[in-house]
Amino acid sequence: MILAELQNDRFLRALLKQPVDRTPIWMMRQAGRYLPEYRASRADAGDFMSLCKNADFACEVTMQPLRRFDLDAAILFSDILTIPDAMGLGLYFETGEGPKFEKVIRTEKDVAGLQKVNVASDLGYVTNAVSTISNELNGKVPLIGFSGSPWTLATYMVEGGSSKDFRHVKEMMYATPDVMHQLLDVLADSVIDYLNAQIDAGAQAVQIFDTWGGALSHDCYKEFSLAYMNKIVKGLKKEARGRKVPCIMFTKGAGQWLEVMAESGADALGLDWTTDIANARARIGDKVALQGNMDPSVLYASPARIRDEVAKILKSYGNGSGHVFNLGHGIHQFANPDHAKAFVDAVVELSPAYHK
C-alpha cells in the first residue's frame, strides 16, 4: 500500500522524541457517542458491529472528530474485542450493558480449543477499514492502529463481558496459572499478527490498550500482563513505507510500573491522570515518550477550567519533545463536544511556548 506523503507528522515525531513546533494531541475514544454525528451514523448502520464491519461507515466515523477538532492523529474505528469475536466467542452488545460474549472461556478445555486468530480470513474487515481510512486521510494526519493487551482481552473472554471484580479471570490466574499463560500466549500471537496486518494496511503507529492491567498485583502485572505486551512489541514491524512505526503501551493504573514498562521496547507510554507527568518524565528519563494525561472528567468543567488544566499539564511536562497530549482514558459519552474543542484548542494555543 502506498500512502500519500504526510502533511502533519508531529504526532509521529513526538513519539520518537524528535523536535516539534507544538505538542501534538489526539483523544482516546475520539470517535464515539459524545458526538451527535456518531450517533446518527450508528443509527444508520444499525448497530455497533455493523459500523465496524462496513469500511465506509468505519471511515466516516473515524473522520468525524477530525472535522471538528484540530487533531494530530486519527485512530482506526474498531474495537479491542474483534479478536475474541474472530476466535469464535460471538461478541454482541446489549444496550446499556456493554460488550457480551455468547461463549465464555473458563476451563483448560476451553483454552485448548482456541487457535491463533486468522487475520486474513476473519479480520479482513478491519484491515479493509484501515486501507479505506488511509486513502481518505490522504496524508492529512497519521493513522493509529490498535489492539487490546492479552490480559485485557482475557478479562472479557473469561468473564464474558465487563467486570468489576474479575472473579473468574483471577481465579484462572491464581488457581491454574498454566492455563492462564496458555490463553495469554495465544492472544499475544494473535495480537502480533493483527497489528502487523494493520501496519501493512496503512497504520503508521500502534497502541496497545491494557485497560485492566491496573487491577493486578505488583508481581502479577509483570507476569500476566507486561510480559505478553513485551512479546508483542518484539514481534511488531518496526518500520513500514520507509518510516518508523512507533508503538504506544497504555496500561491504566500503571503509574508505579513506568520504569519496567520503559524497558519493553515500546516508544511511548500512555499515562492516566493519577500519575504526575513531571514525576513520570523524571523517572523514565529519555527512554520513552509520554502520552496523556488529563482526567476526562475535566471536560465537564468550563472551557476556562479546562484551559487551566491543559496549562498545568504542559508546564508539568516542561520543555522539549516527547509529549503527546491526550486524555488519561477515553472521552466520556456525556462529554460536551464544545468542551472537547476547548481542550484541543488550548493545547494548540498554549504548547508552542514549550518548543522554542
Interacting residues toward ligand CP3 by CB under 6 A: 28-33, 42, 48, 75, 77, 79-81, 98-99, 146, 162, 209, 211, 330
Within 10 angstroms of residue 295's Cβ, the number of other Cβ atoms is: 17
CB of 108 to ligand CP3, least distance (A): 26
Which residues, at least 6 apart from 210, have a Cβ–Cβ distance to it below 8 Å?
A: 148, 149, 151, 152, 225, 229, 249, 250, 251, 252, 254
Catalytic member of 72, 79, 210, 267: 79
Which pairing describes strands 239-240 and 243-244: parallel, antiparallel, or unpaired? antiparallel
Q: Is 72 tagged catalytic?
A: no
Dihedral of the alpha carbons of 155, 184, 227, 273, in degrees to the nearest 10 = -20
Dihedral of the alpha carbons of 84, 120, 127, 115, in degrees to the nearest 10 = 20
CB of 354 to ligand CP3, least distance (A): 26
Q: Is 156 tagged catalytic?
A: yes
Catalytic member of 13, 29, 281, 307: 29
Catalytic member of 156, 194, 228, 317: 156
Q: CB-wise, 29 or 170, nearer to ligand CP3? A: 29
User: For residue 139, what is the enclosing H or E element?
Assistant: none
Q: Is 79 tagged catalytic?
A: yes
Q: Is 42 tagged catalytic?
A: yes
Q: CB-wise, 79 or 159, nearer to ligand CP3? A: 79
In 3D, which of 141, 140, 126 has the Cα closest to residue 200?
A: 126
Look-up of cell digits 460474549: 101
Q: CB-wise, 42 or 244, nearer to ligand CP3? A: 42
Q: CB-wise, 7 or 162, nearer to ligand CP3? A: 162
Q: CB-wise, 96 or 242, nearer to ligand CP3? A: 96
Catalytic member of 33, 68, 243, 305: 33
Q: What is the C-alpha to C-alpha distance for residues 290 and 284, in angstroms, rounded to an integer?
A: 9
CB of 207 to ligand CP3, least distance (A): 8
Catalytic member of 42, 68, 106, 305: 42
CB of 233 to ligand CP3, least distance (A): 18
CB of 98 to ligand CP3, least distance (A): 4
Q: In degrees rounded to 5, what are phi and psi of residue 68?
A: -85, -40
Q: What is the CA radius of gyration of the chain?
A: 19
Instruction: Enumerate the active-site residues.
Output: 29, 33, 42, 79, 156
